[in-house]
Structure 1
Amino acid sequence: MSAELPEYYFRVRENGAFAFRVDTADRARRIEMEQIAVVNIRNGEIKPNGDRELTAEDLAAIKTWMEERLAILAARDIDDIHRAADYLNQTTHWAQSKATDDQLDLVTDTLLLAMHDLRTVLVRKKADRVLKARGMA
């Protein structure tokens, strides 16, 4: 752990975070964390905690955290999609080389419908992008 703690801490939750100001200024070097706001990254809302008024520094730190958090989540989404493609490849190998007829009976319809749905969406989105690039949409 570094000797220098950050000025702000964000307790992540599903759609944002609780923002805290970190203070180690007391003589006992205890860490005090004072909640200053609730942050919602889905709608960009920053609600000060209680009657508190956020300083410009508080808002800047929160907005920086929001931008960084959104970038992290976007990168995770893409990574999840790459993992899904890998998993589809592994599933194909399993179906071709290891799966029993009974196992295939359990999953075939579900997989076929999910893959058909995915293919339909991907083809439509690809067509939309092609038309847009040609100036036809």
Structure 2
Amino acid sequence: MAGELPEYYFRVREQGAAVYRVETDNPERRLELNQIAVVNTKRGDWKPQGATELTAADEAAIADWLAHRQAVLAERRLDDIHRAVDHLNLTAAWAQSQATDAELEGVTDTLLLAMHDLRTVLIRRKADRIDRADGADG
């Protein structure tokens, strides 16, 4: 066969994935996806589906997928933050040179509150890191 099918298919969901075993060994040679587990990426765990007993190979495939997925999600989170910095810079340029008074009136309070909240969190977290570093040195 030109493109061999994988043994498992992971249907991504909001908090993880549904895990399917890909099966073609049937009299009709039809492709069947049999759900064997549900994965939670936030908790880093999984549960068998129904009465399914997971094999060592199932567990290994799920663990590999989970580790890879968590790494991808972490990269995306950081990329989102870098994009947010870009958006803040673009917003500053827009506010300075293009925004009308009416447009600014519609967004200023919300932006100021969000930026104040972010600034407060960042300062607190930086102070915590400095305190821990000072504690480790002293």
Q: In percent, how many aligned pairs have the same letter?
A: 62
| SS in structure 1 at match of 2:21 | strand
Q: Shift of residue 30 of structure 1?
A: 2.9
Report the Cα distance in structure 2 between the residues aligned to 1:113 and 1:38, rounded to whole angstroms. 39
Report the Cα distance in structure 2 between the residues aligned to 1:122 and 1:116, rounded to whole angstroms. 10
- Counterpart of 1:54 in structure 2 is 54
Matches within 5 A, 1:76-115: 76-115=76-115
Structure 2 unaligned spans of 5+? none
Greater alpha carbon shift after TM alignment, 106-115 vs 19-28: 19-28
Report the Cα distance in structure 1 between the residues aligned to 2:97 and 2:103, rounded to whole angstroms. 12
- Counterpart of 1:118 in structure 2 is 118
Task: Output the amino acid matched with 1:76.
Answer: R
Q: Shift of residue 27 of structure 1?
A: 6.2
Report the Cα distance in structure 1 between the residues aligned to 2:79 and 2:27, rounded to whole angstroms. 45
1:131 matches 2:136: no
| SS in structure 2 at match of 1:134 | helix
TM-score normalized by the length of structure 1? 0.92
- Counterpart of 1:21 in structure 2 is 21
Q: Shift of residue 44 of structure 1?
A: 2.7
Structure 1 unaligned spans of 5+? none
Task: Output the amino acid matched with 1:100.
Answer: T
1:12 matches 2:15: no
| SS in structure 1 at match of 2:19 | strand
TM-score normalized by the length of structure 2? 0.91
Aligned CA RMSD, in angstroms, stands at 1.7
Task: Output the amino acid matched with 1:16.
Answer: G
Q: How many residues align?
A: 136
Report the Cα distance in structure 2 between the residues aligned to 1:6 and 1:130, rounded to whole angstroms. 48
